[in-house]
Amino acid sequence: MNLAIDFGNTSVKAGIFENNILKEKLTGITSVELSRVINAHPDYNLILCSVSSESTHFLNLIEKKDKLTILDYKTAIPITNLYETPETLGMDRLAAAVGAFTLYPNSDCLIIDAGTCITYDFLDAKAQFHGGSISPGIKMRFKALQHFTAKLPLIDTLEYVDIFGKNTSDAIKVGVLQGFKGEVESIIAVFCQKYPNINIIVTGGDISFFETKIKHSIFAVPDLVLIGLNKILNEQINV
């Protein structure tokens, strides 16, 4: 059994895999709760990727570390990483690219991860990861408007408002969500023009926004990072 763990900026996600099938997903779980699960199953093979300092506390709680792989830029992966500064690359982005390779081999892929930040990454048909771009996620945009102004309220809903808002709350929603939609569609259009057969793969906490708002054909894969982590872990086990 494999346990893939993704420590994100805002939450911890974990998946239990058997024969490459995701049997169970753990979300909204604390590091203490997760460590109890692992310590109760010492036969699990583990892989961890993290962009959060919370993972340090978690690692201190793990009793058996001999089956643990911590993903970093030196870890062997089944794709070629062409990022010029691999040591600065978020490991969740790399794991998502491996997930895309696992599900769509020999294909050009644009991977959009809509979480705390929204990242756009390109994996070509030769399994080469080229990097991409990073911009603020939806909730970060709402928080920035509230934080850097004196009177604008904090919006915490993704309720969509078309074209214009007739009050301040709706005006913020239009500005943030229409702006976000325009950004995403513009980036997708650029990639589709250059790579006509590209797969658009969307993951992350705000994945639901894409299902009805983006006009391009997309593949929604909520567990993309976990799938990639499981693939990487299997590579380590089979060495």
Nearest-angstrom CA–CA distance, 8 and 199:
24
Q: How confident is residue 63, by pLDDT bands cut at 50, 70 and 90?
A: low
Catalytic residue among 92, 108, 113, 121: 92
Q: Say whether 92 is catalytic.
A: yes
Output the six-digit token pair for 151.
Answer: 């009177």
Phi, psi dihedrals of residue 59, rounded to the nearest 5°: -60, -35
What's the pLDDT tens digit per position in 193-215? 999 999 999 998 888 877 777 77
Of the candidates 23, 10, 21, 191, the residue with the CA atom closest to the CA atom of residue 109: 191
Is residue 82 within 8 A of residue 70, CB to CB? The reply is: no
Pairing of strands 45-50, 68-70: parallel
Whole-model pTM: value is 0.92
Q: Give the residues across from 68 on adjacent strands.
A: 46
164: pLDDT strictly greater than 70 = yes
What's the pLDDT tens digit per position in 10-59? 788 899 999 899 999 988 888 788 888 888 877 889 999 987 776 777 77
Fill in the DSSP letter of residue 11: -
Nearest-angstrom CA–CA distance, 2 and 190:
38
The structural domains of the chain, ordered by start, are 1-70 (3.30.420.40), 73-239 (3.30.420.40)
pLDDT of residue 239: 53
What's the pLDDT tens digit per position in 167-195? 999 999 999 999 998 999 999 999 999 99
Helical (H) or strand (E) element with 187: helix 179-194
Would you state the torsion angle of the CA atoms of residues 59, 63, 68, 72, taken in this order, to the nearest 10 degrees? 20
pLDDT of residue 39: 81
pLDDT of residue 99: 97
